[in-house]
Amino acid sequence: MKISKYNLLILAAMVMLWCQDLSAGKVNFEGVSQKVIEVKPEKNTGLDAIFVLYSAEEVAISYDSSQSEPSHWYRYSNLGGGYAEEIAGIEQSGSVSVLKEVQGDMGYIIETGDNRYYFWVVDYSKHRMTLDSIENSGRNDCGEAELIVFGYGDDIKYFTINGQQRVLSREASLIYNSLEWNEEAKMWQQIECRKVLDSFSDQLIIMPAPLCDTEFTLQGDKFLTTWREELSATSDVYRAYAVDARTEAVQQNVEEEKSNIISSGGSSGLGGSAPSDISFYAYVTDAVIHHEWQMAEDEGFENVIYRFNQQDLDYTFDEEGVYYLRYIGSNSDGGCEVYSDTYTVNIGASELKCPNAFSPGVTEGVNDEWKVGYRSIIEFDCTIFNRWGVEMCHFTDPSMGWDGKYKGKLVKPGVYYYVIRAKGADGKIYKMSGDINIIRFNEHSGGSSSENEEM
């Protein structure tokens, strides 16, 4: 067979190789000082295997094809299998053929009849990893951390059967700690991070900036680890510089607890009826030193009306309007900042409505309490009298009401009177008075009664 034949064979191999039955063929390495590491390459390389030798010196390869036909061996370099050259001096004994002198960092093709076996041999002794130390570069950055590696671990290159260059990953590991947000626990938790390096040399290693103080440990590579000669180096403590934060706003659900609040008909977001108590919380990473909550009247925060230098904020909104709040956290020198999402608080205009009748003691839970309907009332005073001017009830919380009792007993049906003085979050003053009709079903007459009897 002439070598030029491979220009056609290589193209066919990319399509047909993985359909061939090569289970009968077996490669063995002789004269090795350490275990031969086999790496399974991607299918599109056309290779059946990549073998990594501790050293190719004085190593031989034998191949048992399990066939009576002799095997032909070919060797190729970076030009690919189309330029493979047949290797002379192959020893053949039955189905076993032997290559006495292996050259590392080369590709090999073994052809037996219609079967072909493609593999690449790496001489690791030419790419041996060294590692003296690793150091922090000293450059502070909000997004990345830099390490200087004093060691060597070049690209371990190999070539596919059609001459494409690939890099065999060393899978060296850079291990360090950082923080990860746990939404369920509402806290930052420390985690171990691992960056896998295909290769390295006297250069910078760049990774996402850790969010906590940590050491960096570089160890490997996977070949030395397999041979129990793993190298390792650890840096000095890296001081966290980058910052991050999560925030939340918590408001008591007053609309459900106080059923007499008049809905504004707007969104179900923060705010609603004043006074509205809202707590804002910031959960920050280790390097955050400075805290500020900003409140503005515009979404772009061009007009900040309040600044609160604290991590958490409790605030009562008692004036009508739309307010925007956000959190800003920064590290010790202010070089890194983190901004929260913007929270919108909408406090509606005031409103106050008074019913004129109710029926206590008739049907429990149905119209058995006199309550005003209100929204955004920040000051309130209500007194209820009978027709002789005797005070029946007095309360200063608009969510409260009158149960129709005086000194623990239900009053008689009839007309009663209320006087209300109130103030809204929008500054509106309310001076209201009117009558309240207590209606109670009369069992004897079969109708209702509202006659006001003397107490």
How high is the pLDDT of residue 255?
A: 57
Tokens of 349: 């205009």
Cβ–Cβ under 8 Å, residues 189 and 211: no
CA 388, CA 212: separation in Å to the nearest integer? 73
How high is the pLDDT of residue 83?
A: 93
Amino acid found at 83: Y
Q: Omega of the bond prior to 275 within 30 degrees of 0, cis?
A: yes
How high is the pLDDT of residue 305?
A: 97
What phi and psi values does residue 45 have, to the nearest 5 degrees?
Answer: -80, -20
pLDDT beneath 70, residues of the chain: 1-25, 253-257, 264-268, 441-455
How high is the pLDDT of residue 329?
A: 98
Cβ–Cβ under 8 Å, residues 253 and 259: no
Name residue 334's beta-bridge partners: none
CA dihedral 99, 101, 107, 112 (to 10 degrees): -10
What phi and psi values does residue 355 have, to the nearest 5 degrees?
Answer: -75, 160
CA 336, CA 333: separation in Å to the nearest integer? 8
Tokens of 337: 């900042």
How high is the pLDDT of residue 266?
A: 52
Which residues, at least 6 apart from 180, have a Cβ–Cβ distance to it below 8 Å? 188, 189, 190, 191
CA 29, CA 122: separation in Å to the nearest integer? 13
How high is the pLDDT of residue 336?
A: 97
Maximum alpha-carbon separation in the chain? 130
First to last CA, the chain: 126
How high is the pLDDT of residue 256?
A: 57
Give residue-wise pLDDT tens across range 294-342: 999 999 999 999 999 999 999 999 999 999 999 999 999 999 999 999 9
Cβ–Cβ under 8 Å, residues 350 and 272: no
Cβ–Cβ under 8 Å, residues 267 and 255: no
3-state secondary structure the chain: CCHHHHHHHHHHHHHHHHHCCCCCCEEEEECCCCCCEEECCCHHHCCCEEEEECCCCCCEEEEECCCCCCCEEEEECCCCHHHCEECCCCEEECCEEEECCCCCCEEEEEEECCEEEEEEEEEHHHCCCEEEEEEECCCCCCCEEEEEEEEEECCEEEECCCCCEEEECCCEEEEEEEEEEECCCCEEEEEEEEEEECCECCCEEEEECCCCCECCEEEECHHHHHCCCCEEEECCCECCCCCCEEEEEEECCHHHHCCCECCCCCCCCEEECCCEEEEEEEEECCCCCEEEEEEECCCCCCCEEEEECCCCEEEEECCCEEEEEEEEEECCCCCCEEECCCEEEEECCCEEECCCEECCCCCCCCCCCECCEEECEEEEEEEEECCCCCEEEEECCCCCCECCEECCEECCCEEEEEEEEEEECCCCEEEEEEEEEECEEECCCCEEECCCCCC
CA 272, CA 251: separation in Å to the nearest integer? 10
Cβ–Cβ under 8 Å, residues 75 and 85: yes
How high is the pLDDT of residue 14?
A: 36
